[in-house]
A and B are shown apart, each in its own frame.
Chain A
Amino acid sequence: MAHSSDGLVAHHFEDLEQQTESAVLGMWLFLAQEVMFFGGLFVSYLVYRIKFPDAWATASGALNVWQGGGNTVVLLVSSVTMASSVWCAQTGRQRGLKLGLWLTLILGLTFLVVKYFEYKDKFFHHLIPGANFHWTGPVIGSPTEGQIELFFVLYFIMTGMHALHMIIGAGILIWIMALAYKGYFSPQRYMKVELFGFYWHFVDIVWVFLFPLLYLVQRHG
């Protein structure tokens, strides 16, 4: 088969299709590791939720469903814009690609800004685990303050790791945008955009689970 894409296929691959598939597989190996990484945190959360249901119901009430839900929508839309960017790269739509990447970045930063306000709110309500932790809100059942603090330990670690992944993602996204502006991407060369899209969608999936588990514990009256 003639290689119309000379220079795009590394010498150890038979053709571009094989190279593409191996790139996808490699990315999924990385994402499998990420699944296990966050999986460990989720298991910790699950064990203590089962053990201290009153504390979980109480503490979850301190979280703002509008901010959490709004952030869920923000990430959801950013996944649509990211997937659309990949489509633009695949079909040679350079302007659409740049627009899609910009929208994804702006939405990602919006998420982080909302997160900042949420964390700030926790700080002023004495909900940062540590010496100054003090629960002053309504209580469901009979939790101890230590158990409520444990919820917030998990809250900050899980959303913190997620936010760190978003920040790293934003950094890589800026690099991808720089490449796009240099005319790097074409219908023959777009895998960086697609693979970065995988990472972005994965971070979205993590939030899809974080939101109900942290914000929606026993919300009904």
Chain B
Amino acid sequence: MAHDSHAHDGAHGHTIVPIKVYVVTGIALAVLMLLTVAAAYIDLGSMNAVVAMVIAIIKAGLIVLFFMNVKYSTRLTWIFVASAFFWLFILLGMFLPDYLARDFVHQSDAWTSSPTVPSVLPIDKRVLHGELHGHEDPAPEH
């Protein structure tokens, strides 16, 4: 069978991506990986994390587009793929502003220490009489 130099339709309209694409993508990923490690050892301050994440996103993008053939897929497939990362974006976008903003109101320990509860809660009378066997949790945690 002749070597394919470009993507062509398979037996049922499904694009066959030539193997060369996979090898080149793999090499690009390896280069980006070395870049990630090299950049980690240079002091870029707070940009270190940003650089690392940008490179990781590019690598993930290459894997999705080429290894997972999304670049050669139908628009409907693109929508499904985009939705997955869109929901992830919502997850990140709602969590981070919440936690980052907690410091604004001088309650930086609000979510590392226990919530404020009234110090007097109804105590199970059986505790006072020593009738519980240790595996129940009659009193609230400190």
The interface of chain A, by Cβ under 8 A from chain B, is: 5, 15-17, 20-21, 24-25, 28-29, 31-32, 35-36, 39-40, 42-43, 46-47, 50-51, 65, 69, 72-73, 76-77, 79-80, 82-84, 87, 90-93, 187-188, 194, 197-198, 201-202, 204-205, 208-209, 211-213, 216-221
Closest chain A residue to B39 by CB distance?
A: A216
In angstroms, Cα B98 to Cα A47, docked, is 10
Determine if B84 and A188 form an interchain contact, defined as CB atoms under 8 angstroms apart. no
Q: Which residue of A lies closest to B80 (CB)?
A: A28
Q: Are A91 and B16 interface neighbours, CB within 8 A?
A: yes
Contact of B60 among A43, A50, A205, A218 (CB under 8 A): A205
Number of cross-chain contacts by CB at 8 Å: 152
The CA-CA distance from A29 to B77 in the complex, in Å, is 10
Chain B residues whose CB sits within 8 angstroms of the CB of A212 once the complex forms: 36, 40, 52-53, 55-56
Tell me whether B1 and A221 are in contact (CB under 8 A): no
Q: Please state if A216 and B100 are interface contacts (CB–CB under 8 Å).
A: no
- Interface residues on chain B, size class: 35 or more
A-B interface, 5 closest residue pairs, ranked by CB to CB distance from nearest? A32-B84, A16-B12, A80-B26, A216-B40, A212-B52
Find out whether the CB atom of B14 lies under 8 angstroms from the CB atom of A20.
yes
Stretch at the interface among B87-95, B113-121, B122-130, B131-139: B87-95
Q: How far is the CB of A97 from chain B (nearest CB, A)?
A: 12
- Contacting pair A51 B112 (CB below 8 A): yes
How far is it, in angstroms, between the C-alpha of A81 and the C-alpha of B59 when the chains are bound?
Answer: 17
A39 touches B91 (CB 8 A): yes
Asked whether any CB of chain A lies closer than 8 Å to the CB of B105, the reply is: no
Q: Is the CB of A24 within 8 A of B92?
A: no
What would be 27 A-B contacts, judged by CB atoms less than 8 Å apart? A15-B12, A20-B12, A21-B76, A29-B80, A32-B83, A32-B84, A35-B84, A35-B88, A43-B92, A46-B92, A50-B96, A51-B99, A73-B30, A77-B26, A79-B26, A79-B29, A80-B23, A83-B17, A83-B19, A87-B17, A194-B69, A197-B68, A201-B64, A209-B60, A216-B37, A219-B40, A220-B42
Mask of B8-47 contacts with A, CB within 8 angstroms, 1/0: 0011111011110011011001100100110011111000
- Interface secondary structure of B, over-half rule: helix
Contact at B84–A216, with CB atoms within 8 Å?
A: no
Q: How far is the CB of A63 from chain B (nearest CB, A)?
A: 12
Question: Which residues on B sit within 8 Å (CB–CB) of A21?
Answer: 14, 74, 76-77
B48 and A220 contacting across the interface, CB-CB below 8 Å: yes
Contacts A188-B11, A198-B68, A212-B53; A87 near B16 (Cβ below 8 A): yes
Which residues of A are found within 8 Å of B49, using beta-carbon distances? 217
The answer to whether B40 touches A46, judged by C-beta atoms less than 8 angstroms apart, is no
- With A50-B99, A76-B26, A92-B1 in contact, is A24–B42 under 8 Å at CB? no
Flag if A28 contacts B81 (CB, 8 Å): yes
CA gap between A51 and B96 in the complex, in Å:
11
